[in-house]
Structure 1
Amino acid sequence: MTQADFSRKREASFAGRATGLNPVSRFEILDRAPVDDGWHREEPPPIRTAVTEERPRSMITRNSSPDIGFDRSLNPYRGCEHGCIYCFARPGHGYLGLSSGLDFETKLIARPDAPEVLERELRKLSYTPAPIALGTNTDCYQPIERDRRVTRGILEVLQRFRHPLILATKGALVERDIDILAEMSGAGLASVGIGVTTLDRDLARRMEPRVPAPQRRLQTIERLARAGVQVRVMVSPVVPGLTDPEVEAILTVARDAGATSASWVMLRLPHEVAPLFEDWLDTELPGRASKVRARLREMHGGALYSARWQHRMRGEGLHAQMIAKRFALATRRLGLATGMPALRSDLFERPLGDARQPSLF
């Protein structure tokens, strides 16, 4: 077997994954790489998803970022089987001693105690309610949620406490929880954002291999909206030189499906994500790679990414300004520029009982 044959066999085993690379994190001092030692004559088996469990002591994560509109969030899972090649959360796996590449997509951590831990935090007399964001790091409706139901448990806690919720996802499984989300949204307690990166089915399959197809996500917007849920379309991320021509088209079909507001974020490539994305470009879209790189470097002072506050979400320069202006014009024309209604925090109350021991009163 030649080295080329070995490489082709390795690629075949990564079907349905955004990357076959598994680079060490920035915290490691040693590197690793696959080699053909002459013994592997059979095709390697497909890479399977493995799930372990974590027992967190707290669930609510606080932030003071001036770039985002909430100060607290929670995530039921670490890692994400959706496998979006551009995911800014990939480097977080490095804190676990895992890779931001294939490990991020295949070595997942579930937090089954999340609903109970969250309830304990909400019951503290020192807790002051404000909208909490769910699914902002890794997707709370990735495939393992179908069986694990951690997100469902979190929603049940938030509903009982009448706690405001901002939810973001690319997963169609959110439709399962319409009963909770519709009731909370009707009370001014919840809004849902659905991410649509491109309308090109083939491109989406390559960039987001285990995310529902774009047309399926539009159907999710329609079903949520029909049930009375406040829905925002998230054109995120915008990949300059690749998906930015689709901004107006995405906004139009999302509005027609029932979205009432819209948001966007420029592609972010922190730490290990940049080389992973570059390898993906060179492999999947070699004819577009140089253009995308040039646009990104123009937006970030010659680098592929800059994490500066008030810059990282939008970039700078002519093309960044053009995308921002086009988005603003399109949302005004389509009636999507008003934003979501403010969520209510005044309804928050600590129930006397809990799910296991309801109150007698």
Structure 2
Amino acid sequence: MTAQAPPPAAAAERPAPARDRAAPGRRRPVRRERQGPAYIFLSPWILGVVLLTLAPMAVSLYLSFTDYNLFDPPKWVGLRNYAEMFTEDPRYWRSVGTTLLYVVVAVPLKLALALGVALLLNSMRTGKGFYRSAFYAPSLLGASMSIALVWRALFNDGGTVDELLSGVGINTGGWVADPDLAVFVVVLLTVWQFGAPMVIFLAGLQQIPTDVYEAAALDGAGRWRQFVSVTLPMLSPVLFFNLVLETIQSFQVFTPAFAISAGKGGPADSTNFYTLYLYERGFSASHMGYASAMAWVLLLAIGAVTVVLFRTSRSWVFYANEEG
């Protein structure tokens, strides 16, 4: 009998070729040969950002330091537009006050209504999908000019709302023509579009574990205590997200104010929102340099408000992965 050769253990333990091992202390070179197709696919987005966002912003910043009437070449005037805005234009400050009033009133009302409806839908067993779609529909339609015109007709003198209020002895003569009530027509139109934050609230409510409510009930917590101590803290990130989005959007309100005031901000500048006044100075009065300065002040103001919201959120927004 012939003896069998032992298994080639040495061959099995043979080290890998030198080209497959990285030398100690050296990194493998990053492969860049396949980044070309990525940039090709990203090029439409990059071109869109540069041509439709960054370039117009740069031009607008330059025009804010010029006197430009859309027809003649812009003339450099330095900070004159900003000085006139802050010291010589009372209508500018009225537009700021009107916009702040709208933001302070509309945003809390819209979020409160959205959260209330989301709580009701979350407790429903049947028909949740239908009602969710029905309540979300105004968010899709409310931003259109046609809906804003219908809203104006409802609150005008002799409109449906005026007739209903007159039937119970409240004679307003139409909200649109009343300087004290006209801004609330825009507020109600905004609050009516609560569907988008409602859907986000509903998604957040469905992520709260039911055993948390069961534990709170065993401790003797009622519905209100569960809402304050369980629902709001666990929903605070969603609430913060909706608050930031709605605040930014409210500072930029334009279409409802334009439609309800017929583009004039009346009566008595009561609906002359910031963006509507910006449009008037830029396109109606052909002071595009002044309008550009207003746009940049609005951008800085929204940025400052957003920073304040993020800073203050540390004291009332709680995330699941936080300790303590």
Point out which structure has higher relative CO (alpha carbons under 8 A, 6+ apart): 2
Q: Where is the helix percentage greater, Structure 1 or Structure 2?
A: 2
State the TM-score, normalizing by the size of structure 2.
0.27
State the TM-score, normalizing by the size of structure 1.
0.25
